[in-house]
Amino acid sequence: MPKVPRGFVPPSRDRRRIRRKPAQFSLRRRRRRRSSFRRSRSSSDLCISDPPCARNVVHHTNGSECMAAPARKQRARDRAPSQGRRKSAEQILEESLPSRRHALFVACMSTVSGVLACVVPLAVNWWQHKGEDRECLMLYADVRRSADPSVSPCDDFHRHVCAGWTRLNTPLEAYKQRASLIIRNAVLLQQSGPTGHSARDKAHRLFVRCLSHAASEDLLRSFLQRLKLGWPLQAGTVSRVDFLDTLIGSSLDYGVPSLWSMAWIAHVLRLVRRRRARLYLRRCAEIIGGTGQSYEEMIQKVLRMHTALSRDIYTHYGFPDAQYVNLSDVDMRVAMNRHLPDSSQLWPKDEMLVLHLQLFRRFLDGYTSSEEARSRAQLYIGAYVVWYLSPLASQYLTRHLMADLGLADEADGYKAARCFDAIAGLMPLAVWKMMHAMINEHETAAMFEVFGEVRNALYDATRRTDVSTAEDMRLAMNDVSLNAFNMSVTWETVEQAYDYVPMMKGSFLSMYLTVASAGMATYKDSHRNSASDVRYLPIITLSELYRMLVLREVGVPVHLAIPPLFHSSFPVHLKMAVLGKYIAFNFGLMFYYIFYRTASFKLVPFDLVRYSNKEQFTEILLSARPVLLSLSLHPSHYVPLVIHSYVLDAIQRTSFFQSDGAQEPSEGAYPPADNDGQLVMGQGSELRPVRSLQELSPWELHRLFYLVSCFAHCRSLGDMSLPKSICNVALPASAGFSRVFKCATGDAMFFNTTWE
């Protein structure tokens, strides 16, 4: 065995020794120097004389929080070599480290500055053209995909525009859902204020609590009992006044509509088609009433009642037709007074306002007259209330509902949408204020420009035939604002409006019912509210008719004021087709109630209408009557058709619509036509792909105005009579339709019923 020299160390052990010993020595030396440094300096010197550290003091007296920067300086002085000694490699590295860090910092900042100098102009340019090149073309592309160029626009304009749209919702509803997601995220990410009790904080707290998966089935069960609903079992004999008390109490006390909604009808219809309606109702009944019982009788009565009520809604529900009716129903009066304070039971007139009179009378006659009808209706109301509140109370029922509908992947989105709608109903001003924050100053200025030009258009259109009536219309329009308080409401006003909303803990359903009850109690007390108050009532404030006739404002939904439907750089035609037509229709609705209704909403006889040019105003209605009667169109649909034709004709005559290169195209700019005056298929009837809207000619922009106006009413299911009549009656009756699409006057669609 070879002899090992003295002092020999194996390589592995040697490496460990080299790594370990300097580290241990350095750590011990650092500790000794740190302790001596603490003893050598006072806390005042640490925190006051050294500016970089003084900014980081956290109100301690010993100054230990200020150690880091001076300690590094002291260690550098301790490590400084004495005169006459050579510097070690470690000391040289430590001394050169600050200069290297500085050089690295300068190099990084130079690189970042150079990159920003190149990127920022490109980003700004992209952002400026974002609305035109991306968002605006999104709407253009949707219209292009939906159109069917093989169908002549002169024969069936609705089919020409909407043949490719296969969804149940209209395009505006699809864009609304897209914007709603952005708004919900904005509310969810809302930063808390300094006090944590502002209106924004309350809305944020409610939304976050609703999105949580906390179950509130017990509270839902107790709420049904509070409404005197024994659901899912029969509550026994129900008198007429008690039945009306349940309906009125849920609305006046909690703002919960307890009868029906369009979404409920659509859901039940889809469940029936998928053969899941009975399973869904049984699951809801077992959550509320427990298992081990038979709910078959309840399920049969609910489905039978739903079928009958859906038929009545389809027959009698239509355009809101507000009318006052004499409150001679004693049971109705007693049920109302049960939920009103004593001061509010002294009505100046024994009457009430009904928006859908025919449907209201049908409900009272058909569902409250007999014991059997009330029993069936009460079970139906219980099932509806469970469906209405389940997204706010039960994650289990919500997920199973969406699974039964075949939309399991959309359960979270459905719950978030229902939560947001609930908060918008409770605190509409706060939600509208947060919505308005999404609209930048350029879009806001463009909105007010369109708003002003629409008012001028309607005034000029009326002034050509009746100056006095036009002046009355101008005065009425001057009192109307664009959105709440002309979009100028401050957060201070919102804070005062929702000061009654408490900051609560617990489940969302408990918070929702408490806030809703507090809000309704505030507005039911007539002594606490003067006639001049702005009544932003929960739930009912969402009605467009209420906002126009009572609040005197055109409530523009936020999705109509942001891309892809609206942008400040859009052509005039798109602005007017989307936003201008919506604003003008609200004004037309107001004119209808001014000239054709009395102060008590009674219909004025045609011979007594103040509008001197009433024959011209209703000419479109009279000429379109054969088609409307052949379609069995609801009588309440006549009014929106007349308003559509009136406002479309007025919009196209404005100087605003004729500006920015959008002048009426010359005769040679139109596409060729055949001998019958119809468009030659394949030549100008199809939207061509473009990279920018600036490429469109004046004729194409005029045609795009009509295409987008009809595209807003496309859908594939439901009652199609009104959408078809708007596209095939109201639009062709306006001024430029026949010229733009080269249709013969005698072949206008309201004289041609082949599109039925």
pLDDT, one tens digit per residue, over 81-140 is: 444 445 555 554 455 555 555 555 445 555 544 544 444 343 333 333 444 445 557 888
Q: How many CB atoms lie within 10 A of CB 554?
A: 23
Q: Is the dihedral of CA 487, 493, 495, 501 positive or negative?
A: negative
Position 255: which residue type?
Answer: G
SS3 719: coil
Please tell me which of 30-34, 76-80, 384-388 the model is most confident about, judged by mean pLDDT: 384-388
pLDDT reading at 528 higher than 70: no
Instruction: Please give the backbone phi and psi of residue 566, each rounded to the nearest 5 degrees, phi first.
Output: -150, 140
Percentage of the chain exceeding pLDDT 70: 66
Q: pLDDT digits over 307-342, tens only? A: 998 888 877 777 777 788 877 888 888 888 888 887
Angle at 382 between CA 342 and CA 369, to 5 degrees: 70
Both tokens of 333, joined, read: 């009066």
Q: Could you tell me the pLDDT band of residue 196, with boundaries at 50, 70 and 90? A: low
* 467-478 and 441-463 helices, crossing angle to 10°: 160
| Residue tagged 């089935």 (tokens) | 217
Cα separation, 355 vs 548, in Å, equals: 14
Q: Average pLDDT, stretch 13-38?
A: 45
SS3 237: coil
The model's pTM: 0.71
- Residue 609 sits at φ, ψ, to 5 deg, of -65, 135
Per-residue pLDDT at 276: 94
What mean pLDDT is reported for the chain? 73
Q: Which of 710, 699, 711, 708 is nearest to 736 (CA)?
A: 699
Residue 391 has a pLDDT of 92
pLDDT at residue 251, as a whole number: 87
* Cβ neighbours around 230 below 10 Å, total: 16
Return d(Cα 634, Cα 359) in angstroms, integer. Answer: 13
Q: CB neighbours of 237 closer than 8 A, spacing ≥ 6?
A: 371
Q: What is the Cα–Cα distance from 380 to 260, expressed in whole angstroms?
A: 10
d(CA 98, CA 83): 23
pLDDT over threshold 80, residue 661 = no
Q: What residues pair up with 324 in beta bridges, in sequence order?
A: 353
What percent of the chain shows pLDDT beyond 90? 12
Rounded CA Rg of the chain: 36
CB 549 within 8 A of CB 174: no
Condensed to tens digits (0 to 9), the pLDDT of residues 542-565 reads 778 888 888 888 988 888 888 888
Distances (CA, A) of 573 to 17, 37, 144: 83, 77, 16
Q: Which residue has the higher pLDDT, 186 or 233?
A: 233
Per-residue pLDDT of 474-527, as tens digits, reads 888 998 998 888 888 888 888 888 888 877 777 889 889 988 888 888 777 755
pLDDT band, very low/low/confident/very high, at 271 (cuts 50, 70, 90): very high
Q: What is the mean pLDDT of residues 642-650?
A: 77
Better pLDDT: 616 or 649? 649
- The model's pLDDT over 59-72, given as tens digits with 9 standing for 90+, comes to 333 333 333 444 44
Task: Report which secondary-structure segment, H or E, holds 353.
Answer: strand 351-354
Determine the pLDDT at residue 436.
Answer: 82
Among 95-104, 151-160, 280-289, 407-416, the minimum mean pLDDT is found in: 95-104
β-pairing, 481-482 vs 553-554, is: parallel
Reduce the DSSP state of residue 310 to 3 states and report it: helix
Structure tokens at 216: 């509130």
Lowest mean pLDDT among 182-191, 206-215, 288-297, 325-334: 182-191
> What is the pLDDT, as a whole number, of residue 634?
59
